[in-house]
């Protein structure tokens, strides 16, 4: 892979730019307590993040990354409402940018890259979190997990961003912490960068064979801005 022609950087959000698991875990545990169910430590809940809020709720109700097949839709929907209420009240309480991201987004913008955000997080939560970090103006386009009928690892959200912003897949780089980001990139014929510090079901992102992998945002910046 060469960086020469890369113009559009599509970033994942949770586990890539922000450490959001403390707030997601609090919201999941508030929901579980309200339902009289057992709560879980943050390290456990971290391994349930990656496929959007609905799946996090289903995994929390199951107490496992594998979803209990006996869960009822009505039960999940009621739990999801409780989770959404709890997360809306706490989506920026403990959420913080990873080191070097805040300044890095500015440096990448100044260097002429176009930035976009594609997260599996429900879109309703994204604008407030971006605003709380002062990042709204950095992103030419933002898609949430429910902005389109399908989410990552489906390639559709990435292809939709490329088409809307008028870049082809060869001009684009997908940067994320999860196998879902890497698979979406590969299926869209977009080169991928894996970041190892986020949430990937407890697995090393290098197992997903991204084109490049870095252990912190600073290394990514040094490579992109070299
Ligand atoms: O909400 C999730 O499950 C993961 O969100 P992400 O796609 O920004 O990592
Ligand atoms: Mg992520």
**222 labelled as ligand-binding?**
no
Digit-coded pLDDT (tens) for 129-162: 999 999 999 999 999 999 999 999 999 999 999 9
pLDDT reported for residue 4: 84
Residue with tokens 């999940």: 76
Handedness of CA 175, 177, 179, 181 (dihedral sign): negative
Are 197 and 98 in contact by the 8 Å Cβ rule? The answer is yes
**Ligand 1 atom having least distance to the Cα of 180:** 7
Q: What is the pLDDT of residues 63-105, one digit of tens each?
A: 999 999 999 999 999 999 999 999 999 999 999 999 999 999 9
**14 annotated ligand-binding residue:** yes
Evaluate: CB of 12 within 6 angstroms of ligand 1.
Answer: yes
Q: What single string gives the DSSP state of each residue in 56-119?
A: HHHHHHHTSSSPPTT--HHHHHHHHHHHHHHHHHHSSSS-EEPTTHHHHHHHHHHTT-EEEEE-
Structure tokens at 161: 């961003």
Q: Provide the mean pLDDT of the chain.
A: 97
> Is 177 annotated in some ligand binding site?
yes
Q: Which pLDDT value is given to residue 1?
A: 84
Rounded to an integer, the average pLDDT of 106-126 is 98
Task: Give the tokens for residue 211.
Answer: 């084109």
Query: Which residues, 6 or more positions from 160, have their beta carbon under 8 angstroms from its beta carbon?
Result: 143, 148
Q: Cβ-count burial of 114 within 10 angstroms (0-12 exposed, 13-18 middle, 19+ buried)?
A: buried
**In contact, 216 and 99? CB cutoff 8 Å:** yes
Percent of the chain, pLDDT > 90? 98
Euclidean distance between CA atoms 82 and 203, whole angstroms? 29
Q: Is the CB of 20 under 6 A from ligand 1?
A: no
Distances 81 to 74, 85, 131 between C-alpha atoms, Å: 11, 6, 24
CB of 19 within 6 A of ligand 1: the answer is: no
User: What are the structural domains, with CATH classification, of the chain?
Assistant: 8-20+95-224 (3.40.50.1000), 21-90 (1.10.150.240)
Separation of 198 CA from ligand 2 center, angstroms? 7
Encode pLDDT of 34-49 as tens digits.
Answer: 999 999 999 999 999 9
Instruction: State the pLDDT at residue 131.
Output: 98
pLDDT of residue 42: 98
Task: Tell me, in angstroms, the distance from the centre of ligand 1 to residue 187's CA.
Answer: 18
Q: Which of 47, 48, 120 to mutate to test the pocket of ligand 1 (most atoms within 8 A of CB)?
A: 120
**122 close to ligand 1 (CB < 6 Angstrom):** no
In DSSP terms, 143 is beta-bridged to 118
Indicate whether 176 pLDDT > 90.
yes
- Evaluate if residue 187 carries a pLDDT over 90: yes
| Distance from residue 208's CA to the centre of ligand 1 (Å) | 17
ipTM tops the 0.90 cut:
yes
- In this prediction, residue 126 carries a pLDDT of 98
- What's the 46 CA to ligand 2 centre distance in angstroms? 11
Known catalytic residue at 26 = no
Can you tell me the distance from the alpha carbon of 148 to that of 161, in angstroms, rounded to the nearest whole number? 11
Ligand 1 atom having least distance to the Cα of 178:
9
Mean pLDDT, range 115-119, rounded to an integer: 99
In terms of Cα–Cα distance, which of 5, 13, 52 is closest to 138?
13
Which ligand minimizes its atom distance to the CA of 121? 1
pLDDT band at 27 (very low <50, low <70, confident <90, very high): very high
Work out the pLDDT band at 2, boundaries 50, 70, 90. confident
Note whether 9 and 116 are within 8 A (CB).
yes
pLDDT at 208: 98
Please give the structure tokens belonging to residue 154: 């489906």
């Amino acid at each position: 892979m060469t960086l020469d022609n890369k113009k559009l950087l599509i970033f994942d959000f949770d586990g890539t730019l922000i450490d959001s698991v403390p707030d997601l875990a609090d919201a999941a545990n508030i929901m579980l307590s309200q339902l009289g169910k057992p709560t879980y430590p943050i390290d456990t809940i971290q391994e349930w993040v990656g496929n959007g809020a609905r799946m996090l709720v289903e995994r929390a109700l199951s107490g496992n990354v594998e979803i209990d097949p006996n869960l009822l839709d009505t039960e999940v929907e009621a739990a999801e409402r409780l989770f959404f209420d709890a997360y809306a009240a706490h989506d920026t309480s403990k959420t913080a940018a990873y080191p070097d991201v805040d300044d890095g987004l500015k440096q990448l913008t100044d260097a002429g890259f176009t930035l976009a955000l594609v997260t599996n997080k429900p879109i309703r939560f994204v604008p407030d979190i971006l605003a709380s970090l002062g990042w709204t103006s950095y992103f030419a386009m933002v898609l949430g997990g429910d902005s389109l009928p399908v989410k990552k690892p489906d390639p559709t959200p990435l292809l939709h961003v490329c088409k809307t912003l008028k870049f082809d897949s060869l001009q684009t780089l997908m940067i994320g912490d999860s196998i879902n980001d890497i698979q979406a990139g590969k299926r869209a014929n977009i080169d991928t960068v894996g970041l190892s510090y986020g949430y990937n079901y407890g697995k090393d992102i290098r197992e997903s064979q991204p084109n490049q992998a870095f252990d912190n945002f600073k290394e990514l910046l040094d490579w992109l801005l070299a």
